[in-house]
């Protein structure tokens, strides 16, 4: 933990916006350096212009590759494009438009020339492709299908840029698509991007193929079909919303006005340096709404002043593209994301959504808390446990077989009241407003409801730590087989399962999960650093969690040799 974690940023912590943007245009990647090539993670290509990892060349090549990919897939409808508030997002957005217009792709830009949250782009794609109709969503098999691009590095520091592609299913692109796009983009970089046709951004914005779409109104007007906002309004629940300087900044005020909610935008400022942020755990500025350090200002606001109570019944935060949520309550401060996921699931499946089919499964990533497993069993619902990555929930959300999909990093989405799809990407605005609905209907805060779940199912201790690993060890970890793990016990308990494939869909974990009667750990290699991540949970004690973590690292080290 950095000594200044949770304290306000100082001038020396802030980026030089001109230098960051200047490097985007002036620097060119070394295509033989893996760190400067196009590489899609679970949320697109990310990097810093100052590191020659996110520059104009990258965006020209990636956009051109997306044009080729969508044509090969028969996707010839509109492409919905949005951007967040990072300094590199507007330059990359402009570059993408220049390539898309030259390729005569019909592009829908924001009608208000504003910022667009990731869930609003997913929502737009799905509505165009048939969501909320009796025919359902169409993702293949014909002309006119829409897809999208979101220019965002999510919660990454201000110096970073990001660029992600959402195909016609509206969710994060799968590895088949991203692998093809990345390979083709790197090929174009090696050939030289001079071969890619472009027009000026002025010509692109004036082109007949560039249309205006009111993402804000379309998304906000549709919210009553997925949330009980009449109940929230009637109850008078006081909501504090902090967009953390991100893309949801204009959405929250309009949500309050359109739906008559007692909602205050705690901080309406947008600053590409994020000078108003408190530093994250490592001393960096990072818009992670699940981090107590990054959310310290909102937590302090909720704590009230001497002699005064909390100003809100519930407060929420979002990251820069609003696909994540943070929930702050007067009695507990910032909730652990796992705790809130369990409460949301208990509420939605325990009577909060009577219109959902009883067969609708509960989706969780395998590194999320086992408290969710206990809640699912108590509700008598099917649990779908998948690898890390929201893309694994997309098919179930599309066809209604999964009512809720959530991951431990504070990302989730769920179905409309009638059991049809809302978004197939994470929706931090949705989950934040659900917290207000839960408070309104139950009369209790989500943290109080979590205490009830703990009383019923037992308390757990959960943490994630990083351990050093060479590239060879990371590669070996990603391709482990269960029989390679020969240990029979973990932290004093018998090992009950060794998983390298997710139970819910049989997909490769890209690592290892080991379970015992009262604990588990999962180890996955980092895609960007020479470390592997160890997620662990114990239903015994904090001390036992430490034993599980130590035993996990020893087991992984011994297994990898």
d(CA 15, CA 9): 11
Q: What is the DSSP letter of 438?
A: H
Q: Is 252 exposed, middle or buried (0-12, 13-18, 19+ CB in 10 A)?
A: buried
**Placement of tokens 């947008």 in the chain:** 270
Q: Taking the CB of residue 529, how many other CB atoms lie within 10 A of it?
A: 12
Q: Which residues contact 505 (CB under 8 A, 6 or more apart)?
A: 384, 386, 392
What is 501-555 written as a DSSP string? E-TTT--EEEEEEEEETTEEEEEEE-SSSSEEEEEEEESS-HHHHHHHHHHHHHH
Task: Establish whether 488 is a catalytic residue.
Answer: no
Query: Is residue 423 a contact partner of residue 123, using CB atoms and an 8 Å limit?
Result: yes
d(CA 110, CA 212): 6
Per annotation, catalytic residue among 89, 122, 154, 368:
154
Q: Is 408 exposed, middle or buried (0-12, 13-18, 19+ CB in 10 A)?
A: buried
Sign of the Cα pseudo-torsion (91, 96, 102, 104, in order) = negative
Query: Is residue 359 a contact partner of residue 466, using CB atoms and an 8 Å limit?
Result: no
Give the CB-side neighbour count of residue 104, counting CA atoms within 13 A. 1
d(CA 374, CA 380): 10
Sheet holding 411-414, edge to edge: 383-386, 361-365, 402-407, 411-414
d(CA 497, CA 522): 11
Q: What is the CA radius of gyration of the chain?
A: 23
d(CA 483, CA 500): 10
Q: Which residues contact 191 (CB under 8 A, 6 or more apart)?
A: none
Helix (H, G, I), strand (E, B) or coil at 342: helix
According to DSSP, the residues that pair with 231 across neighbouring strands are none
d(CA 235, CA 289): 26
Q: Which two tokens stand for residue 119?
A: 């869930």
Active site residues: 154
């Amino acid at each position: 933990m950095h000594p200044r974690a949770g304290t306000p940023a100082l001038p020396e912590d802030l980026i030089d916006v001109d230098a960051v943007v200047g490097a985007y245009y002036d620097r060119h990647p070394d295509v033989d350096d893996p760190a400067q090539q196009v590489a899609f993670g679970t949320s697109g290509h990310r990097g810093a212009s100052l590191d020659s990892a996110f520059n104009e060349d990258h965006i020209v090549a990636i956009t051109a590759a997306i044009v080729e990919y969508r044509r090969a897939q028969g996707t010839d409808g509109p492409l919905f494009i949005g951007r967040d508030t990072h300094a590199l997002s507007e330059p990359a957005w402009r570059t993408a438009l220049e390539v898309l217009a030259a390729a005569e792709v019909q592009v829908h830009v924001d009608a208000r020339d504003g910022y667009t949250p990731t869930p609003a782009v997913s929502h737009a794609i799905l509505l165009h492709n048939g969501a909320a109709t009796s025919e359902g969503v169409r993702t293949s098999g014909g002309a006119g299908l829409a897809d999208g691009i979101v220019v965002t590095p999510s919660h990454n520091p201000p110096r970073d840029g990001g660029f992600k592609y959402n195909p016609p299913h509206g969710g994060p692109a799968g590895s088949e698509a991203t692998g093809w796009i990345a390979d083709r983009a790197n090929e174009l970089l090696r050939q030289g991007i001079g071969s890619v046709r472009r027009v000026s951004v002025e010509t692109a914005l004036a082109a007949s193929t560039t249309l205006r779409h009111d993402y804000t109104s379309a998304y906000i007007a549709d919210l009553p079909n997925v949330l009980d906002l009449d109940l929230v309004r009637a109850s008078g629940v006081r909501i504090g919303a902090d967009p953390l300087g991100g893309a949801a900044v204009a959405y929250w005020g309009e949500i309050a006005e359109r739906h008559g909610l007692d909602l205050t935008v705690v901080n309406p400022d947008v600053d590409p340096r994020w000078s108003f942020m408190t530093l994250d755990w490592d001393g960096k500025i990072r818009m992670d709404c699940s981090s107590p350090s990054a959310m310290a200002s909102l937590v302090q606001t909720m704590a009230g002043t001497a002699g005064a109570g909390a100003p809100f019944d519930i407060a929420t935060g979002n990251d820069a593209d609003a696909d994540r949520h943070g929930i702050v309550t007067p009695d507990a401060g910032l909730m652990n994301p796992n705790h809130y996921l369990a409460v949301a699931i208990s509420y939605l499946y325990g009577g909060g959504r009577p219109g959902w089919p009883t067969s609708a499964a509960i989706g969780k990533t395998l590194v999320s808390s086992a408290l969710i497993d206990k809640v699912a069993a108590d509700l008598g619902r099917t649990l779908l446990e998948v690898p890390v990555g929201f893309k694994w929930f997309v098919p179930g959300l599309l066809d209604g077989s999964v009512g809720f999909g959530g991951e431990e990093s504070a990302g989730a989405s769920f179905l409309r009241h009638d059991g049809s799809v809302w978004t197939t990407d994470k929706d931090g605005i949705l989950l934040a407003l659900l917290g207000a609905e839960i408070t309104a209907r139950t009369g209790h805060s989500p943290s109080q409801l979590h205490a009830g779940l703990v009383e019923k199912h037992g308390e757990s201790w959960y943490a994630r730590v990083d351990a050093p690993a060479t590239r060879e060890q990371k590669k070996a970890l990603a391709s482990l087989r269960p029989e390679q793990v020969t240990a029979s016990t973990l932290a004093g308990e018998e090992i009950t399962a060794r998983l390298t494939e997710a139970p819910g869909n049989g997909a490769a974990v890209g690592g290892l999960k080991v379970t015992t009667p009262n604990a588990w750990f999962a180890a996955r290699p980092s895609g960007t650093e020479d470390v592997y991540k160890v997620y662990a949970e114990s239903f015994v004690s904090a001390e036992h969690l430490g034993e599980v973590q130590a035993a996990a690292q020893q087991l992984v080290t011994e297994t990898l040799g």
